[in-house]
């Protein structure tokens, strides 16, 4: 194409502006050939050719053109309403900058010819501020994934760290599963055999994926304590309740600590591993991990009330990662889950609650024996036999629970599972004390009969 001078551009520029107005008025037309966006791109190519770099004052115009072209490249396919809306917004922004730049160039050339002062530099139009109710854009949503195991489901997201790409989620989402899958919101299946890493001291895991699959990804905010403020808007998108539908839960930053971020976005089970996205910057300030629910004291005792807090681990402050062998991590997780299930069973027994199912034939045998002995004692109307049956049952449970933890003592675990075992050891001390108290009471009652 033969280069044109700046004075020949008004017609092409007018065509582009008309095309922009048509696209904004007929967004659905972009799904049918010939696509107006393609025609608009051709017009931009003509303008780019007509503005040689050597021309004075062309920097602003060329920057506007380049930004417009980059916006087109970011949204190669208008396959949903969100992407279409984003593309139209970027198109409008790019055209506005382009027209501003060209008009500045024309004024500059006229000023030089007439020996007049330089015109003021143009100011780019401000980007509209997002609100807490505005949805995330299509590219952000396409960076989300579903993490689904045979025992648990959760969320995850594709992230760029140190110029490499990973799927990030919580370690507790992966722990206890024999296998798991990673599925993008567009149905893409991501490999799970990439290098697997666990953060030491944090409930965070990441799986490396090929760069070719990381078409859409999120970036981590550096130092949220400085770059995010209390009351800043956040969104936590993810696999809420494991329904395989990416809901967007909005809220605000409540505080940022050295390891944790607290928000009031009310995420739920299935959101574990979801990114906590800082709306103003679009960057991830944390990974949704857990909630804490407290009982509120009611002086009048007329009702019970609770309050819940929502926490996510910071990613920028993670100092050490350990490489995880999946077979070992999986086996450890299953053992830890068995210990936690036993503790849950024992606590329910002590509290007189309905017993949760427990896949342990030995304990199920103890329960059957205890029920038989209890029934026999009641038939004989023998409180002493009943007390002895309770003591025997308690001792058997105490012994098997101690054996379970003793078997794991000294076994090397990955950091995440080692911390879980430490928690269980402390919990079992409290459980053991409760069983001993029951046996002492039973002995005292039996001696008084």
Summarised one tens digit per residue, pLDDT across range 393-437 is 888 888 888 888 888 878 899 999 999 999 999 998 898 888 888
Do residue 256 and residue 148 come from a single domain? yes
End residue of a domain, out of 64, 80, 114? 114
8-state DSSP, 181: E
- State how far the Cα of 189 lies from the Cα of 91, in Å rounded to an integer: 31
Q: What is the pLDDT of residue 381?
A: 85
Regarding predicted confidence, which is higher, 286 or 101? Answer: 286
Do residue 109 and residue 196 come from a single domain? no
Counting the structural domains of the chain, the total is 3
End residue of a domain, out of 294, 322, 350? 322
Do residue 191 and residue 332 come from a single domain? no
Task: Please answer whether residues 281 and 221 qualify as being in contact, where contact means their C-beta atoms are separated by less than 8 angstroms.
Answer: yes
Element (H, E) at 196: strand 196-199
Question: In 3-state terms, what secondary structure has residue 125?
Answer: coil
Q: Give the chain's mean pLDDT.
A: 79
Tell which phi-psi region holds residue 34, choosing left (phi > 0), alpha (psi between -120 and 50) or beta.
beta
Do residue 331 and residue 298 come from a single domain? no
Where residue 162 sits, what CATH number does that domain have? 2.40.10.120
Question: In 3-state terms, what secondary structure has residue 140?
Answer: helix
End residue of a domain, out of 266, 298, 322? 322
Task: Please answer whether residues 266 and 310 qualify as being in contact, where contact means their C-beta atoms are separated by less than 8 angstroms.
Answer: yes
Tell me: pLDDT of 223 over 60: yes
125 in a domain, yes or no? no
127 in a domain, yes or no? no
The DSSP annotation for 51-105 comes to S-TTSTT-HHHHHHHHHHHHHHHH-----SHHHHHHHHHHHHHHHHHHHHHHHHH
Do residue 70 and residue 150 come from a single domain? no
Domain extent for 95:
6-114
Task: Please answer whether residues 170 and 203 qualify as being in contact, where contact means their C-beta atoms are separated by less than 8 angstroms.
Answer: yes
Q: What is the pLDDT of residue 182?
A: 97
Q: How confident is the model at residue 3 (pLDDT cuts 50, 70, 90)?
A: very low
Do residue 82 and residue 149 come from a single domain? no
Tell me: pLDDT of 45 over 70: no
Do residue 44 and residue 57 come from a single domain? yes
Q: If you search the block for the tokens 């007390």, which residue do you land on?
A: 387
Query: In sequence order, which residues have a C-beta less than 8 Å from that of residue 52 and are 6 or more positions away?
Result: 3, 58
8-state DSSP, 47: H
Mean pLDDT of 376-388: 84
| 252: Cα within 13 Å, side-chain hemisphere | 6
130 in a domain, yes or no? no
Do residue 274 and residue 389 come from a single domain? no
128 in a domain, yes or no? no
Tell me: pLDDT of 70 over 90: no
Strands 153-161 and 218-219: parallel
Do residue 199 and residue 211 come from a single domain? yes
């Amino acid at each position: 194409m033969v280069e044109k001078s700046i004075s020949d551009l008004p017609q092409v520029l007018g065509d582009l502006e008309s095309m922009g107005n048509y696209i904004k008025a007929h967004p659905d037309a972009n799904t049918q050939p010939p696509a107006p966006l393609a025609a608009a791109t051709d017009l931009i190519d003509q303008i780019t050719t007509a503005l040689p770099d050597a021309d004075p004052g062309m920097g602003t115009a060329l920057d506007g053109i380049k930004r417009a072209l980059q916006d087109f490249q970011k949204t190669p396919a208008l396959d949903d309403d969100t992407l279409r809306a984003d593309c139209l917004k970027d198109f409008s922004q790019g055209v506005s900058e382009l027209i501003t730049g060209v008009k500045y160039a024309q004024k500059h050339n006229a000023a030089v010819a007439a020996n007049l002062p330089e015109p003021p530099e143009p100011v780019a139009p401000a980007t509209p501020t997002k609100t807490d109710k505005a949805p995330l854009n299509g590219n952000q949503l396409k960076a989300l994934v579903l993490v689904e195991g045979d025992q648990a489901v959760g969320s995850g997201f594709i992230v760029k760290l140190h110029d490499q790409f990973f799927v990030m989620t919580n370690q507790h989402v992966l722990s206890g599963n024999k296998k798991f899958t990673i599925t993008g919101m567009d149905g893409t299946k991501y490999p799970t055999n990439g290098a697997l890493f666990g953060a030491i001291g944090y409930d965070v895991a990441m799986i490396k994926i090929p760069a070719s699959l990381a078409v859409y990804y999120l970036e981590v905010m550096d130092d949220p304590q400085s770059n995010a403020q209390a009351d800043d808007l956040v969104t936590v998108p993810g696999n809420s309740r494991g329904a395989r539908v990416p809901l967007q839960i909005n809220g605000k930053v409540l505080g940022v600590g050295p390891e944790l971020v607290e928000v009031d976005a009310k995420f739920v089970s299935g959101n574990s591993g979801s990114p906590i996205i800082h709306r103003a910057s679009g960057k991830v300030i944390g990974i949704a991990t857990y909630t804490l629910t407290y009982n509120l004291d009611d002086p009048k005792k007329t009702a019970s009330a609770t309050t819940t807090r929502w926490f996510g681990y910071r990613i920028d402050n993670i100092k050490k990662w350990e490489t995880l062998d999946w077979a070992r991590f999986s086996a450890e997780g299953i053992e830890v889950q068995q210990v936690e299930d036993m503790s849950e069973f024992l606590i329910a027994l002590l509290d007189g609650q309905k017993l949760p199912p427990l896949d342990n034939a030995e304990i199920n045998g103890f329960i059957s024996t205890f029920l038989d002995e209890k029934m026999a004692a009641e038939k004989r109307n023998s409180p002493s036999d009943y007390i002895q049956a309770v003591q025997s049952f308690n001792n058997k449970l105490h012994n098997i629970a101690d054996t379970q933890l003793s078997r794991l003592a000294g076994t090397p675990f990955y950091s995440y599972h080692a911390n879980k075992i430490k928690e269980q050891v402390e919990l079992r001390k409290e459980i053991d004390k409760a069983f001993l108290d029951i046996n002492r009471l039973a002995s005292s009652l039996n001696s008084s009969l």
